[in-house]
Every structure is written in structure tokens, then in C-alpha cells.
Amino acid sequence: MSQTHCLECDAPLQSELSEGLCPRCLLKLGLSTQLTSTPIQDAGERRLLAPPLFPFEFGHYRVTRLLGRGGMGAVYEAEDRRNRRRVALKVLGRTLESTEARQRFLREGLLAASINHPHCVYVFGTEEIEDVPVITMELVPGGTLQDLVQKSGPLPVKDAVDRILEVLSGLESAHAVGVLHRDVKPSNCFVDSDGSVKVGDFGLSISTLAQPNLLLTTAGRMIGTPAFSAPEQLRGETVDARGDFYSVGATLYYLLTGKPPFFGDNLVGVLAEVLDKPAPSPRQLRPEIPEGLDRVILRCLSKAADERCRDYAELRRALLPFASSAPIPAPLAKRILAHSVDRALLSVPFFVGGFLGMSETLQRWAWAPTVLTLAYFGFSEWRWGSTLGKRVFDLRVASQSGGTPRLGQTLARAAIFYLADLLRLITSGLGFDLIGWVLTLFGLVYHPLLAISARARNGYATLLDFATGTRVVLDSRQPAPQRPVSELHSDPESAAEQCGPYHLLERIDQGAASELWVGFDARMMRKVWVRKVSHGEPEVADFLRNVSRSGRLRWLQGQRGERNWDAYEHAPGQPLMALLQRPHPWRTVCGWLKDVAEEMAAAEADGSLPQKLGLDRIWITSAGRAKLLDFPAQANRDASSAELTEPQAFLNQIAISALEGRCAKTSEAQVNAPRLPLPIGIRRALVRLTQNTTIPEFVHDLKGALQRAGNLLPWQRALLVLGPTLPALFQLSVGLLAMASPQAESKPLQQWQALVAALRMHEDLEAGRKVMNHSPQPKLESLETYMADRFRKTVQKENSEDRMTMALFTDAADKGRLQQILDRNPYPTQEEVSRAKADLGDALNSWGDPVWLNKPVLDWPAWSKSARWMLSATLLIAVLAALMSRSGLVMRGLGITVVLPDGSPANRWRAAWRATLDWGWWWPALWAFSIEPAWGPLLGGALTLGALGIMLTLALRGQRSLCDRLAGTWIVQG
Amino acid sequence: MSSPNAHSPRGLFLTTHWSMVCSLQSDPVSAERALAQLCSTYWYPLYAFTRRQGYSAHDAEDLVQGFFARLLEKRDFGALSRDKGKFRSFLLAALKNHLANAWDRSQALKRGGGKEWVSIDSAEAEDRYRNHAPQAPTPLDDFDRQWALTLLDRVLDRLKLEMMEAGKGAQFQSLKFVLTGGQGRSYADAGRDIGMSEGAVKVAVHRLRQRYRDLIRDEVAQTVFSESEVDEELRTLLRALG
């Protein structure tokens, strides 16, 4: 039974029935009341090919079915009989009398042919068959996004965003070569067999490099599909990438709701709406669309191009939070650091206020800090998903669906986190002050309590996160672009040789029986590769002719007979073998590995895996992507590589060779993983490769690891150096500060101590007892005069320090005694006070009277002792923590691991040794401090700052800190 | 826009086969003839439906013949009334009833008396059934689908016959593609094949489409009561084609 499909409606045809005509169309004709409106009536306007039944012959193509109709013609599935490749054949459907149509059609071919990207439909060529212009394109078998929505309804949110991101990357690649699409819509986005989306139909695209082409599309002719076109495009104004962003937004709108943003019965109505009416929110049609995504879509659909995203990166960044790639939970340490930054920021206004002498005002506005804090966190996390502090540490708050949280959620987060402050604010309003102290204590345990539920398995969710249905996650970063690789060049050959339609330009590789040339396709205005092979070389296998994956070289055409050659897409770059003279960064190598592994997984699935695998079959394009070649391309003839057949060992061989910058032996690749420090996740994936893992599993492992792994950022390295230094710096600053300001301020505690001491002395004198250490004995009157002068203001609680002093001063008997003294000596004159002080003499020194202190406060030996104690304690804790967890608490919190040079995790003793160096390097400085008060601090300070400078420089400029170099370790993420 | 009469140039709706069948009481002879005419046209959908119920080719043929016997000889129209609506619906309901009564082969023979009431080419039927295996999800949908295909075959046969009688057989072969929206040939190409100018082809095409349309509406009209039901029936059949 031969079953083909109707050209008109794609319904199946049964040749034996209905005279071989389409039954659907026949029935429709019976229904139709407009006999004159059939397409064939416009024979003058349509130059159509094809007999009524598929398959039919058309030039050297065997056309098998209609794939769809577009504005300019129809697209058919066909097989090129010359090379047995299945292609999509786009045929101009209008008359050839229209020069403009013909020009535009052929221009589409040329423009689209300049783009070679995994998310753009590849154009093989243009030609004219029976006087009909034809574009031959890659066959994308899965229909369009419009078909998908029509068949199964609106897509799940994440699925839709994933697909739009693919569309964006295709458009971006077109934009990179100067092509604007201008007709992005669901029916122009094609779904490949693996589900990925390719942008096609560059029928309206223009070159941004060649402005004169704009003329073709002006002059009153409407270009584009109104429902998906930007207003400025409909008005015939100049369009840039932001015009495509509008269409992308409209397409996403359609994928999510099943409807374009504007639709109607007639064109004029739709045009008017697109030009004037604000786009309706997609959430009205589908409430589960996250608010943030709704905002992104509406921003894309802004009438003014200026209000849309500025560039592809911005739009992608806005969409990424809603894509299916799962957000990575943020480690607690990062959250604490981010929060510290926010707190510091929030305290700035109050600090400045205090500095400017506005403390009175600030006291009246005691509610301001708490309210400002709640508003700051609540609003920024709702509006931007992040606060400034979180932004610094690449964190954001996400709702459980992955989008930005609602205002209620973010306010609840802030309110729960600052519960203690809130309660204090409320209770102070109610007039009972003391509870503030309780709340301060409560606050100390409250925050650690909130974090009690945080586990790696629940994404470090605190009780706060659970209560509000939110999570703090690492902000989706764009995958780091692959490092570009320079293009391999050789001297252009003078011989103007030609292979088929291709002019040979330069030879880039020469083997025993083959030569690889860069050629030029003058018709498509693009470079190609031409591989000249020896006589007898078999033809490229059929399945390779149809392979259209980005990890494989696309075969274009070939010839056998008198001349033997094959043409491939042009892949500027270098063979991997030529790049093995030096080690490459792990991220670059993992990108290559991912490309090769994905290709191998796909090739294993469809049986197109090459028989022979070897390092000489990997090509690195100038964009930094790896391609698996079906022939050897070996720049370095000396380095021979035995051929492997085991894919896992082959991938491992690539990893070792590229990471270590040498040509790894196959025997080595079968057993060993690369020996160098790598992020733990990456290393784990590579180690598993030498064990029993399948290629798809490896791809999965590697993708996950790549998403999580990163190089340590400069701030992380600086923090790692500063962290262990902080105790020392603290001690140093205390010492230096004390030396710089010998007059200490009166502090509540000091005042209280002085008060109590004075009272005891008063007791003794009154009772006639001898006061210790005082000779001659002070007079009772002098003491009373002095006390009345010094403590009257304190008793009257004139300022906050006085209030705190009196809060400490609780003994009722003492209070009574003091009051009596004050009553007996109402207001002593300055002269009386001076006399009293002179009489009291030394006694005052021990009471910390600020006026009488004229020697350094810093008790040097005491300071030195306490510093040694404190620093030794921190060192001990650090070493013990390293012994227990190998990385130490701070590093564990930041997601960092200490490894040995071969990449394996450091053992406990090595970690402890590293911690000793890390936390103990200031011992010499401390020693310097303690030798002599006069110049010791200067030497100590100089040593501390000098060492700190060296360590920071090393940390910021290199990957290894000084103590890592001394301890023979590396720190990596993981 | 043509007037309703333009669709029924020969006053088709005055007496259609189905309306005649339904006027059994008043004119039994004409009614029987009309019914036989309809049955001989639409036997294949019944056969395919029976086959899809799981009966063998032989049993299906006997059952369908038995069904016709009961329908025509015994005038066993059961619940037939004007309310039943379309002939297609009636026939299907009656057949289902017939099959549900578990008529075995011997009963069928006995009732039918071995007589062929409607000429069924069993080899052709089985061939068609096997080559065009049912595609619709349910036997009921498939019945409608087969009905539509049978209807179209009948219409095209009539059109082709008319054209051949008028000595325009070659013209029909060359121009029939215009009935389904063109299918990609130009008038000039078609004209070259049959030695006609492009203008003449245009006129011929117009006439062909007009005639086809009359015929299909006429054929459908034979199975419904009123003209107003023709469009509805066509739409139903269009839906059945998927």
C-alpha cells in the first residue's frame, strides 16, 4: 500500500480510493460555497510544482511529503538522489515575475547559510530547479513549536522557557554574524528529533551589516507576522535585536497560553492592538505562570524598544531563573556573609547620623532601624529576588517554583528573621524596657536555632525558608563561554584548484592518503572544508550524511571516480593534537569533554559512532567547541596515538591529555584519572569514567558538576586569607588603638567600679578603718566632695551610659549611702573639688577617673598575654577542626576542599599542618609585639601587615596561597 | 453566492432516496427500490464495520447479506421513523442491532435464503479491507470514515462517467486535481496535456468543480431528509476523516 500525504492539508492519501485525490479536500469542496476562491485559480500568481501524488521527482530530488507552507512557499521533505541525504526543500511558491520575491527568497538562503549553530536550521545550498528557486535545508523532523502547542496544548512553564532559551541562543548566533531574524514566531521554531529547538525560516531576516538591503522590505509592504511582530517593525521603522526580543516574548506568550498576545478576526484590528494596546498579562490566562516570568514577558512586549532588554545576555539572565535547570542551594556561610554586608549597609545611615550629632533624633526614631531593615529585605527580595549583599555573593531568594517570591513571602522572611527586633520595638512601645535585654539574649540563640534544619539534602533550608516557602539559591550564572581557539592557518596555495563547486584556498592538514583544505563556496559565499582522499576510499556512509549534530562535522557533498573528495562544513579551529603542548584549564577541557561525550552518547544511540577513536579525531573549533571527526586530523605527526575503541577510556584520554598538556597513552587512560587539583565534582565524574559508567551517565555527572563547580573567585581567596588573620588583626588594632589614645573614655562599667570602690572607701573611712594602700589617709570630706561631684549626674541618669551604670548599681544599701552623700554635699565648687582630688591622690587612679588618667591604658604584658591566649585558642580550634573535617569549618561553609597536587583529598594530618600555617603565621609578629613596648608594636605591626600583603597578593593573583604552597596543598571547590 | 436552488438543479430534494424510503407506507415499491439503491452503494462501510467487530471475511459477508435480507425482504425497518434522521445513522443502528442478535451463519442463510440482495464482491471487499486497514480509533469512527470514502468514490465515479459519456474522459483525468485545491500543477501545464488553451482550461475547471459540487451534495442529499442537513452531514464526514 502506498500512502502519501496531501500537499494541501497533509491528510493521508490512498491512491486506490477517490481517484488518488485527497478525501478531506474533496469533502471540503462539497461544503464550500465560494467556488472561485481556490488557490489554483491564481495560476498566474503561483508557479507550482508537483504532480498530485507523492512521491514525485523534482530535479535530483525525490519529494516525499509536504512539511508546511509559509509566506513565500512550501517546504517539502525530500531525498537528494545524488547523495541519498534527506533534506527539507523550500520552494518559492510565487511567480518568478516578482523579482523582489525571488531576490528575497535567494537572500534568505544566503543569509541563513552564513549561520552555523546548533539552534539554527542549517542551509545546505540554494539552486534553481525547473526555473523554480529552491533552498535546501537540514531536515528537522519534529514539526514546529506551533504544532506542538496545537497538538498538546500550552507547554509546562519550565519547558517553554527552556525552548525559548534555545531559540535565543540560535538568534544570538545569527546576530553575531550580523543577521536579524525579524519573523520569530512559533511556526518558525522547529523541533528536532532530540527535542531541541532550531530557528528557521530566515525569510524576512536582514543583514545588520548591509543596510541597503533594508530597502527591500520598506516601501509600504508589511513584513512579518503581525501578531508576533514588534510595533516598530509594523510601522516600518528601523529594527534591531530588540525587535526580535519582542517576537521572542510573543512566542513565549504563545507557548505558555496557546494564544498570541494579540489576536483578532481581521488584520487591521490586530495591527491596531499591537501598535497601541498594552499586552495583556499572560497570568490572566494561566495563573500559575510565576509573577517574575510574567514581568519578563511583558517587558519583552513593551511598545518602546528602549523598555525591552538591552541585549541577549540580559534577556537570558532574566529568563534563566524559570528554566528547568534546578537552582543550586546556597551554603549557609555565604548567606551569613551576604547578610553581614546587608547589615553593614543598613547601619551606615545611623552611623553617619550619630557622627553628625543627631543621636537625639535617632533616639526618638528608635523604630526606624527595624522598619528600614524589614522594608529593605522585604522589598528588594520581592522586586529583584536579591539584596545588595546577596547580589555580591551571587545569591537570590527563590520561591519553590524557582521564580521570584511574592511580596508576602519576602516580608514574612524579614519579619521572622528580625522577630527579636520586632518584639523589642513593640514592647518598648508598650513601655516595659527591660524585656529588651531578654530579647537580645533570645536573639543570640534565635538565629542559630533557625538554621537547625539546614541539611545538604534539603538544600540548606532553614526553618525560615520552610515557614515562608522560599529558598536561598545560587544565582543562575550563565555558563562560562568556552575559551576561543585560534584558527589553524597555513600558507595559501597558489594553485587555483577546484573540487566540484568549491575553490580550494589553503591546505590545513596533510596525511598519507588525504589532504584537508579550506575551500570557498562562491555561490553560498561561505567557506567549507574539502577533504581530498585517495582513489579507492569508500564513500561517506549514509547515516553520516544525515548526521546534523553540533558535535559532528556536517557532510555537505562528495565525489568519487576521477576525483575523490568530500566537502564538509567549515569548522575554523585546530586539531586537539596541536593544542596538547600546554595544559588547559579544567573548565575548557570539561567543555570539550561534554561536547564529545554528548556526541558519543547520541552516536551510540543511532549507531553512528566511529569505528576508530583517537586524539587525532578531535577538532576544537575557534568557538571552543569540540567536534568528533570521522577522519584523522593530526597536526603533530610525531605524536602518535594508538586507536581506542572503548569510549570511556577515550574520553579519559582526552581529559588527561588536555588537562596535563601531553599526549596521554591509551594504556594509562584505561586505568588512571587525571592527576591534578580539580573541583571535587569534576574529579569525581572523571574518576567514575575509569570505573563502570556509561557515556550518558558521564554526561549527566559532568553537566551537574560543571553547573556547581567554579574557580575560587578572588573575593573567596581574599576571605580565606583574611579569615584566619582576623583574630590577629583584632588584637593588633586593640593594642594600637590603646597606644594612640591614652585617655580612655568613661565607660559604664568603669564608672560603676569606681562608684563601688569609692563607696567601700567611704564605708571604711566612716567606720574609722584604715584604707589600704593609701598614705596619708584621705579625708572623709574630700571623698564625699569628690563623689558628689562625680556621681551626681550618674544618679540623675543624664545619658545612656549613666543609665547603664545605674542598671548595674543595684545594692539598696549602697544606693542609700550614695544618696546621703549627695544630700550632704549639694553642689561643691570647682575649687573644692580640686582640693578633694589632690587629697585623694593615688586612690583616683584605680577608679579610672578619666581626668586623672595620663598613662597608657594598655597594660602591655596583660595585652600580650591575652593576645597569646586568644590566638592560641583560635589556632587550636582551627587545627582540631582541620583534623576532624579536613577542610576546616570556614572552608567547609564556603564549599571548599583541601586537596593534594594529584587532586585527591588531603588527609587529616596534611590538613592540620595547613591549618597550623594558615592560622599560625602571625606568631612571629606576636613575638615581636611582646618583646618591648617601645618598638615591639611597630615591628609586630610591620611584620603583620607585610605578611598580610604578601598573602593577599598571592591569593588574588594566583590560585594558591602562601600556606598552600608551603603545605603542598591546593584548595578547590567541592 | 449561489442561491439554494443552484445546489439542486434537478430539484433533488423533492424526492431523495432516503425520504422515499421513509415514505414506505405510501409507496412501498418505490421505497424498496430506493432502499436497495442505497444499500448497494453503501454496503462496504457495513462490511468493514462487521469485519472490525471480529467476524471472518466469510461470516461478515453472510451477516451483511442477512442484514440486507432482513431489511429489504422482511421490510423489517424496526424503529425506523423520520426521527431517526440520516440514513447513515439508521443503517449503523440497524446493523448493530442485527449483529447484537447473534445471528449465526446458518440463521443468516436461512433468513436470507441464500439470495444475494445486494451485489457484494467479496474478493474486492476483503482486498480493500486488508489494504486499507481501518485507521480510526473506534469501529464507529471507522464506519463514518469508510462511509465518507465510499461516498466520494461514488461521486467521482458519477462525475467521471458523465464526463466520459460527454467524450471528456481525458479532460477529467487531466483536470481532476483541481478538485483538491490544485496540488501544484498550473493550468498551462494541464492545458498542454489535453491540447487546450489556458483560458479554455479555466472555463473547464470552473465547470468541473461546479458539477462535482452538485454531485456530492446530491449524493449526500440521498441519505438525509432535507437540504439543510447536507452541510451538517458533510461536516460530520469531514471530522470522521481526522
Write out pLDDT tens, residues A389-404: 888 777 888 887 667 7
Mean pLDDT along residues A955-959:
67
pLDDT, tens digit, 9 for 90 and up, residues A773-817: 666 677 788 888 888 888 887 777 766 667 777 777 777 888 888
CB A112 within 8 A of CB A123: yes
Q: Please state the ipTM of this predicted complex.
A: 0.82
C-alpha distances (whole Å) from A629 to each of A131, A139, A538, A943 are: 37, 21, 16, 58
Which residues does A730 contact at the CB level (< 8 Å), separation at least 6?
Answer: none
Q: How far is B112 from chain A (nearest CA, A)?
A: 31
Kindly state whether A8 is in contact with chain B, defined as any CB-CB distance less than 8 angstroms.
yes
Nearest chain A CA: its distance from B24 CA (Å): 30
Predicted pLDDT of residue A597 = 93
Pick from B145, B180, B212 the residue to mutate for testing the A interface (most A CBs within 10 Å): B180
- SS3 of A192, please? coil
User: Hey, is the C-beta of A96 within 8 angstroms of any chain B C-beta?
Assistant: no
Interval A880-919: pLDDT, tens: 888 887 776 667 666 778 888 888 888 888 888 888 888 8
Q: Does residue A202 register a pLDDT over 80?
A: no
pLDDT at A42: 34
pLDDT of residue A34: 39
Among candidate residues A521, A695, A464, A524, the one with its CA nearest the CA of residue A596: A695
Mutation target vs B (from A18, A41, A46, A95; most B CBs, 10 A cutoff) = A18
User: How far is residue A85's CA from residue A630's CA, in Å, rounded to a whole number?
Assistant: 17
Chain B positions touching A93 (Cβ under 8 A) are none
**How far apart (Å, rounded) are the C-alpha atoms in residues B52 and A24?**
23
For residue A39, pLDDT over 50 is answered with no
* pLDDT for the residue numbered A348: 81
pLDDT band for B76, please (50, 70, 90 cuts). low
Does position A438 have pLDDT exceeding 50, yes or no? yes
A64 vs chain B: nearest CA distance in angstroms?
14
Mean pLDDT of the residues in chain B? 74
Residues of chain A with Cβ-Cβ distance to B185 below 8 Å are: 40, 48, 50-52
Reported as a single tens digit per residue, the pLDDT across A594-606 is 999 999 998 888 8
* Residue A559 DSSP symbol: E
- The residue with greater pLDDT, A107 or A36, is A107
Mean of pLDDT values over A453-461: 74
Select the more confidently predicted residue: A508 or B119: A508
What whole-number percentage of chain A has pLDDT above 70? Answer: 77
pTM: 0.60
CB pairs below 8 Å between A and B: how many?
Answer: 125
Q: How far is residue A565's CA from residue A558's CA, in Å, rounded to a whole number?
A: 5
Whether residue A957 has pLDDT greater than 50: yes
What is the nearest CA distance from A27 to chain B, expressed in angstroms?
6
Strand partners, A133: A128
Nearest CA in chain A to B131: A1
Phi and psi at residue A214, to the nearest 5°: -60, -30
Q: To the nearest whole angstrom, how far is the Cα of A9 from the nearest Cα of chain B?
A: 9
In 10 A of CB A313, how many CB atoms? 12
Give the tens place of pLDDT for each residue, A482-527. 666 777 666 655 556 788 888 888 888 887 788 888 888 887 888 8
Burial code (b: 16+ CB inside 10 Å, e: under 16) for A376-395 equals bbbebbbeebbbebbbebbb
Name the E strands within A801-938.
896-899
d(CA A27, CA B178) in angstroms, rounded, equals 13
φ, ψ at A631 (rounded to 5°): -145, 155
- H or E segment to which residue A63 belongs: strand A61-69
Low-confidence winner among A331-335, A623-627, B186-190 (lowest mean pLDDT) = B186-190
Query: What stretch of H or E contains A565?
Result: strand A565-569
The arithmetic mean of pLDDT across residues A751-771, rounded, is 80
Residue A852 confidence (pLDDT): 38
Read off the pLDDT of each residue in A704-714 and give the average, rounded to a whole number: 73
Sequence-distant contacts of A265-274: CB under 8 A, at least 24 apart: A267/A226, A270/A226, A270/A227, A271/A226, A271/A234, A274/A226, A274/A227, A274/A229, A274/A231, A274/A234
Q: Which grid cell sits at A930?
A: 611582646
Mean pLDDT of A631-652: 70
Nearest to A27 among B148, B153, B187 (CB): B148
Tens of pLDDT, residue by residue over B10-57, are 333 445 667 666 666 666 677 777 777 778 788 888 888 888 888 888
Chain B residues with beta carbon closer than 8 angstroms to that of A51: 183-185
Residue A695 grid cell: 557515556
Q: In what order do the strands lie in the sheet with A626-628?
A: A573-575, A618-621, A626-628
CA distance A412 to A377: 10
Q: Which residues of chain A make contact with B180, given a CB cutoff of 8 A?
A: 6, 8, 21-22, 25-26, 29, 52
Which residue from B minimizes the CA distance to A46?
B186
pLDDT number for residue A482: 66
Closest to B215 (Cα-Cα) out of B27, B14, B7: B7
- The 10s digit of each residue's pLDDT in B184-200 is 566 777 787 788 887 88
- Least confident among A95-104, A551-560, A823-832: A95-104
A132 CB near a chain B CB, below 8 Å?
Answer: no
Residues of B in contact with A29 (CB under 8 A): 179-180, 209, 212-213, 216
